[in-house]
Amino acid sequence: MNRVRLLVFNAALGALDYRVPEGMRVEPGSVVLAPLGPRQITGIVWEEERLPANDVPDSKLRPLLELMPVPPLSAPLRRLVEWTADYYCAPMSAVARMVISSGGALNGPATMTEYRLSGGMPERMTPQRELAMAALEGEQATIRELAGIAGVSEGVLRGLVGQGAIEPVTVAIDRPFEPADPDHDLPELSPDQREVADRLVEAVRARKFAPFLLDGVTGSGKTETYFEPVAESIRQGRQVLVLLPEIALTENFLKRFEHRFGAPPVLWHSSLKSTERRRAWRAISEGTAQVVVGARSALFLPYRYLGLIVVDEAHEVSFKQDDGVRYNARDVSVMRARFEGFPVVLASATPALESLQMAESGIYEKLDLPSRFGGAELPSIDTVDLTEEKPGSGRWLAPRLVEALEDRLAKGEQSLLFLNRRGFAPLTLCRNCGFRFKCPNCSAWLVEHRLSQRLACHHCGHETTPPATCPECGEPDCLVACGPGVERIADEVAELFPEARVAIATSDTLNSPERAAQFIAEAEAGAIDIIVGTQLVTKGFHFPELTLVGVVDADLGLEGGDLRAGERTYQQVAQVAGRAGRGSKPGEVLIQTRHPTAAVIAALAEGDRDAFYEAETEARRMVGAPPFGRWAAIIISAEDDKEAREAANRLGDSRPNEDDLMILGPAPAPLALLRGRYRYRFLVNARRSVELQKIIMRWIGTQNFAPGVRVGVDIDPYSF
């Protein structure tokens, strides 16, 4: 009797046992199709003893249906799934789902059908058809994806297919990717870069676990440097994963990659089309995808011969996933490298304190690039004290910053104004009755987006059109915008300098690879005088003509008393400052603030990174924050406020009484209402040595929560 236990992608089902039919050969890691009631489910054969047992007798077992034609998940990858589930208090099934994040690709056909405009016209034109056809210019995807792009139903598109205006195209999933040539265009590295690159190449050759912190100032050429171990991996026939924090950064990266290796890498991110996704997944699992560049979700894919991971801008928040499995891709990368035995490189100009600490204690090897490539100087940084140098009324830019902008315009140089706020104004109210526009689903104000004429919630995506009259008192034309967003700053700039070419760079305006590419091309060519942008433009970009960076409000991130506020502000401002003066002309940075003497701001102005990290280290030590102690958050939520509150209170009543453990709460979470759910939060603080996860899981396990109540655990929460 050959009995196997499957890990399936539904936590509620637990582990399921099956019989292996005659002639089917499975092993741990095999991906199989199994019957479940009238349905079929995908599962992964797992070591029996690592999954909860079930008591179905042998005689009742149903046979597996099919063995998927993909390589079995390796033992180290299965250990990674288990480790991630344990560490982040998440179900193994949810982690495993990220490995098989393209289920349909497994036994899917070798070709798929996509659709595109045929050039012909439908016999009968309707407004909807017209709309759809206009939106689908140049697009090719599945019917479902096209319906999403055009904002019409699939039925409308099927109608157009029926009338020949949209035609099918057969796409081969097994098309190989163009090979990258490790010696396509060998760079000339500076002596510093050479030393670091050689060390990393040596580590790739050694094929052993080796974690590195590549600590290089902005513009030091970290990318060119880590391309060398990437090249070595390609030579050795091993796969490489480069994690980038933002798709918007990929364009710039792709250009440089192609330049160096003569072919594009394989991309992985959430907006891939299903055909691209399947093609990439297969090539990754078969080992033919040499270099994969992706967002954090690329980390869990089943690479067959992975030999190196690079996490670029490793300090970035976006490596932390904030729903589902709440993991930090930076930390899981290191674990994957450890389980599979290869080097991992965390690259940053402003490493997280945790990473620096790991380097200091000798766990990570630190590699430094202390100066900019090609003799460019780091920019000069100065603060503008907004309590003394006041912007004009209804304005946000202080006179000194305006003069500096004027000066750059006169010289034909580029400027960047940074404000980490999308839209026109963060708050809109009625000047007659004081009514404030609030999101119905979240405890957050609606943000006015004047370009798209919308009031939008940045948390749940809720949107409305700004009304002509106040919904409260009925007063017409009464809406006032409070506070600045990037659109408002762009307006101010346009009023001050009508002749200037201004571009807004946010996730609203650079929302596709094409638009990002166009923006980069224009900015590099000097066709933009003033860029107004959010954190999207703080990193990765290299615009040679950019000589002035203005930080519109450095205090923004410091409000709210968040434990990581200081570090985040430091990183953001240092990164955006790093955009200035990367070419031959020196850069200048002006930081507008009401608190020029605050530790973070002073350290930035003096360019004294060590002073900042020392102060931050001390502050963390005092409150037992990482790396000295550990924090976890537990969020209890429900659609009904009372239900959520009572569940949280009950959990609070059964809190564990352990030494070395401090539990705060329950209290309303920072966003007390989010996407229609009321949220209460516990914060748990523990010494490093405490088995925090076990205690939390045991504690939560004491409760029977009502079906409408959700419990989320966030280990090492990013902000709290």
* Annotated binding-site positions for Zn(2+): 430, 433, 439, 442, 457, 460, 470, 473
Residues in the chain, total: 720
d(CA 88, CA 85): 6
Contact between 189 and ligand ADP per CB under 6 A: yes
Q: Which does 216 bind (CB under 5 to 8 A by kind): Zn ion, ligand ADP, none?
A: ligand ADP
Element containing residue 456 per DSSP (H, E): strand 454-456
Structure tokens at 151: 């904002």
Contact between 583 and ligand ADP per CB under 6 A: no
Q: Judge contact between 225 and 196, C-beta under 8 A.
A: yes
Query: For ligand ADP, which residue of 227, 300, 373, 682 counts as binding (CB under 6 A)?
Result: 373
Hey, which residues between 203 and 232 contact ligand ADP (CB under 6 A)? 216, 218-224
Q: What is the DSSP string of 64-91?
A: P-EE-SSPPPPHHHHHHHHHHHHHTT--
- The DSSP call for residue 186 is -
* Minimum distance of ligand ADP from residue 534's CB (angstroms): 19
Cβ proximity to ligand ADP, 294 vs 540, nearer residue: 540
* Minimum distance of ligand ADP from residue 585's CB (angstroms): 14
Structure tokens at 625: 């924050």
Q: Judge contact between 315 and 278, C-beta under 8 A.
A: no
Contact between 577 and ligand ADP per CB under 6 A: no
* Minimum distance of ligand ADP from residue 222's CB (angstroms): 4
d(CA 53, CA 46): 12
Structure tokens at 4: 């196997």
Strand bridging mode 291-294 / 266-268:
parallel
Binding string, residues 408-447; x marks residues near Zn ion by CB under 5 A:
-------------------------------x-xx-----
Residue 457's SS3 state is coil
* Minimum distance of ligand ADP from residue 412's CB (angstroms): 20
Listed residue (247, 274, 297) closest to 147, CA to CA: 274
Q: Which does 462 bind (CB under 5 to 8 A by kind): Zn ion, ligand ADP, none?
A: Zn ion
* Minimum distance of ligand ADP from residue 252's CB (angstroms): 8
Strands (E), 563-647: 588-593, 629-638
Residue indicated by tokens 């100065």: 382
Cβ proximity to ligand ADP, 270 vs 584, nearer residue: 584
* Minimum distance of ligand ADP from residue 374's CB (angstroms): 6
* Minimum distance of ligand ADP from residue 214's CB (angstroms): 9
Please count the residues of this chain forming the interface with Zn ion, following the rule CB under 5 A: 7
Contact between 348 and ligand ADP per CB under 6 A: no
Contact between 188 and ligand ADP per CB under 6 A: yes
Q: Which does 233 bind (CB under 5 to 8 A by kind): ligand ADP, Zn ion, none?
A: none
Cβ proximity to ligand ADP, 418 vs 682, nearer residue: 418
d(CA 263, CA 254): 9
Q: Which does 222 bind (CB under 5 to 8 A by kind): Zn ion, ligand ADP, none?
A: ligand ADP
* Minimum distance of Zn ion from residue 459's CB (angstroms): 5
Binding string, residues 643-662; x marks residues near ligand ADP by CB under 6 A:
--------------------
Backbone phi, psi, residue 36, to 5°: -140, 110
Query: For Zn ion, which residue of 62, 438, 459, 655 counts as binding (CB under 5 A)?
Result: 459
Contact between 78 and ligand ADP per CB under 6 A: no
The count of C-alpha atoms lying within 13 angstroms of the C-alpha of 256, restricted to the half-sphere facing its C-beta, is: 18
Using the contact rule CB under 6 A, the part of the chain among 182-190, 286-294, 397-405, 557-565 near ligand ADP is 182-190
Query: For Zn ion, which residue of 171, 243, 460, 536 counts as binding (CB under 5 A)?
Result: 460
d(CA 116, CA 121): 13
Element containing residue 385 per DSSP (H, E): strand 380-385
3-state helix, strand, coil in the chain (%, to 5): 35, 25, 40
Residue 202's SS3 state is helix
Q: Can you give the binding site for ligand ADP, defined by CB under 6 A?
A: 187-190, 193, 216, 218-224, 373, 542
